[in-house]
Structure 1
Amino acid sequence: MSTLLDGGIVGSLSDSGPPARGRGFDEFYAAYFQPLTVQLFAYTGDMAAAQDVVQEAFCRALSRWKRVAEMDDPAAWVRRVAWNLATSRWRRARTAMAFARRHREEHVAAPSPDRVALAQALATLPEQQRRAVILHYLADLPISDIARQEGVAEGTVKSWLHRGRTALATRLTDKETHRA
C-alpha cells in the first residue's frame, strides 16, 4: 500500500523486500530506508525525527552488519532499533518537560499593602500571642485545640488572643492613621 507523505515522499508501509542475506549493506539500506522512515513517521508524527532514528538504526546495523545480515529478518531488527530509539527520545522529552514544569519561574502577584501591614504587625507580637492569633484566626483552630497543643489552660489562650488582638488593633490603626 503506497502513500504520499510530507511533500511527496512516497513509501510502502510494508518492507517485505528481498532478504538481506547475500546482499551488501548499501542495497539493504536503499531497499529499506524509505519504508522504515514512513513507518517511524507514522509512529512519531515528525518526519525529521523519523529520519533521524531510522538513520541511527542503520548506523548501528552497519557496525554489526555481518551478524545482522545473517538474521532471518534484518529489516525487523533495524525497525525494532529505530522504534526503541524513537521511544527513548519521547521518554527523554517527557522527562525534560516535567523537569521544566517543576523548575519554571512562577510569577505571583505582590502582596497587598494590607497583607504587608498585617505581617509586620504580627511580627511585633510576643511569640505566644503571635502563635495563638495565627492558629485561631488563620488556621481556624478552636481555643481548646490551641490550649492542648501549647500545653496551657484555655484561659491562657484567651488571654493571649485578647492581648494579641489589642496590640494588632493599635498597630494597624496607627498605620491607617499615618497613611491617610
Structure 2
Amino acid sequence: MTEDEFYAFYASAFPRLVGQLFAMTGDHGEAQDVVQEAFVRAWDRRSDFLADEAPEAWIRTVATRLAVSRWRRARRWLELVRRTPPEAHTPGPGPEHAALVEALRQLPEVQRIAIVLHHLCDLSVEQVASETGAPLGTVKARLTRGRAALAGHLGEKEDGRVR
C-alpha cells in the first residue's frame, strides 16, 4: 500500500472504526486513542497491507486488543488501590510551614531559589551554582543574605517586636 493509499484508507476507515470501538468501550476518547494507536502500528507495516485481504479487520483487532489491555491495566490498578486504603487523616501544613512560605515569598527571587535548592532540595552549593548558572561565590552570597533575611522575617511577631 502506498502512502497515498494508506492516507485514503485512514480517512475512510478511521471514523467507522472509532464508532465501532466506541460501541465496545463506551468511551469516545478511549476509542479514538486505540484506533489511532492501531493505525500507527499499521503505518509501520503498510507495505504488507496489500497482501492482507482485510486491513480494516486488522486495525479493528489491534484496537480491540489495545482497549482490552488498557481496561485490564486499569482494573489491576483499581484492585491495588482498593487493597491499600488511604490514611485516615492527612494533616495539612502547619503554621510553621505557612510562616516559612510567607517569609520565602518576601525574599528576592535569586535568594529564594538558592535557599530552596540548597536547604529544601538538599543540593550542594556547587550543584546550586550549576543549576542556576551563577558563580559559586554568588550562590554563597545569596545563601548568606537569604538566610539573614529569613531570620529577620521569621523572628518578627505581627506587632513588629522581635521574639
Which has the larger strand fraction? 1
Query: Residues 133-160 of structure 1: CA distance to partner in whole angstroms, max 9, x if unpaired?
Result: xxxxxxxxxxxxxxxxxxxxxxxxxxxx
AA partner of residue 42 (structure 1): A
1:105 alignment counterpart:
86
5+ residue gaps, structure 2: 90-163
2:40 alignment counterpart:
59
4+ aligned runs moved over 6 Å, structure 1:
20-23
How many residues end up aligned between the 2 structures? 89
- Are 1:93 and 2:105 matched, yes or no? no
AA partner of residue 84 (structure 1): R
SS of residue matched to 1:24: helix
1:145 alignment counterpart:
none
2:49 to 61, 68, 76: 68
Q: Which has the higher contact order (CA 8 A, sep 6+)?
A: 2
Identity %: 48
5+ residue gaps, structure 1: 1-19, 109-180
AA partner of residue 86 (structure 2): E
Q: Is the 8 A contact 1:21 1:69 kept in 2?
A: no
AA partner of residue 49 (structure 1): E
2:5 alignment counterpart:
24
SS of residue matched to 2:52: coil
- Are 1:78 and 2:59 matched, yes or no? yes
Matches within 5 A, 1:119-134: none
CA distance in 2, matches of 1:69, 1:41: 27
CA distance in 1, matches of 2:57, 2:4: 16
CA distance in 2, matches of 1:88, 1:58: 17
Which has the higher Rg, Structure 1 or Structure 2?
1
Give the superposed CA RMSD.
2.3
CA-CA distance at 1:56 after TM superposition: 0.2
Query: Residues 56-80 of structure 1: CA distance to partner in whole angstroms, max 9, x if unpaired?
Result: 0000000110012320000000000
Q: Is the 8 A contact 2:6 2:46 kept in 1?
A: yes
CA distance in 2, matches of 1:21, 1:69: 9
